[in-house]
Structure 1
Amino acid sequence: MTLAHHRPKQPDLLRQQVLAAAVRLAVEKGAEAVTLDAVARRAGVSKGGLQHHFPGKRALIDALFDRMWQRFSAELAAEMAADPEPRGRAARAYIQVGTRGLPDEEGDFWRAALTLMLADPTLRERWSAWVRQAWQADLAAEADVTTLLVCRLAADGLWLSDLAGYDAVPPARRADVVQALVAMTYAKETPR
């Protein structure tokens, strides 16, 4: 009998343990390393135990992406709800949430999700669909969508440099860049 039979059943803890193992594999070895066998070994569970929670690799990857996405979406919604100015609201929320520093564990989830998203067209399409929907809010508010797009892409650059672990922009200058991007979202031009 394995130790697993003697452990108290804690399905939520086991799910988190398995997701954390998948994250570590994706961050350390790339998307192709995230196999059910490798994740089970890394998590210290049987493959059957893993499959009880995640029937296949697709379910595991979707769960990892969903976890990251739910947190990101909740933070965006909170930022947007707190912003009284409709023009550029979605872009400001994206800038604020995307350029916040991430704790190591959360950063690893983002790195893993990005690694998996780059390798998986289904995840890329899910992300793209959200981006298209988010911009509808700014389009409806008659914001300068070209400026907002520039702001979002600049925020993506800061976010990706954080995830990649290179410090191209000193912290004080970085704060100035974020502040300038946010200020740009208040432009009163109409769409072109």
Structure 2
Amino acid sequence: MAKPEVKALDSRAKVIIAACQMIGEDPSSTLSVRAVAARAGVSMGSLRHHFPTQRALRDAVLETIYDVVAADDQIIHDTSVPVRDRLAQCLRQMFAPGVGEEARQAWIKVFEGFIVPEPTADTRQAYMALDVEGRRRVEHWLAVLANEGVLRPGDRIQQARFLTTVCTGLSIERALPAEDSILHTETETLYAAVDAVLKTSL
């Protein structure tokens, strides 16, 4: 019996696979268009045909990683939920787990790993990989919202950096002593950050 013919990958699929592999090997990769084209074995013209800008390539790769590889990323696509609630729920995934002692222990590990010791090239590289991966995840959520036309115009990388900075601060706050309900004040701050990047009419 003849084996079924396997359809060859088109150039777009080759580019996506190559770029995903590059991020898998080095989460801090900037996805140089030239390097991705070389890795995929396609011409620069072919890559530019499918992805006219580096941003278009980056968005497609993030969509593949978080929609295909990370199956738990359905919140951002659930249009039955108000957009600000969707983004806020996604951002909560960036926080240290729990509150109080649990959050304190999580941050102690971060401080012991990256702040207490003298910085080395290895610790810098390890931290930067985590930081870049976190921002990429937020950029992906923002890309989904941009496609829906609900994101405020602006530099998406800067918006992602702003939101991850807010999340880092809220995550540390979970580990600190607090008088008020930490989850209540956290939610207020989180929604204020979300509203800063969404269109005001929402």
- Alignment TM-score, normalising by the size of structure 2: 0.39
Q: Which has the higher helix share?
A: 1
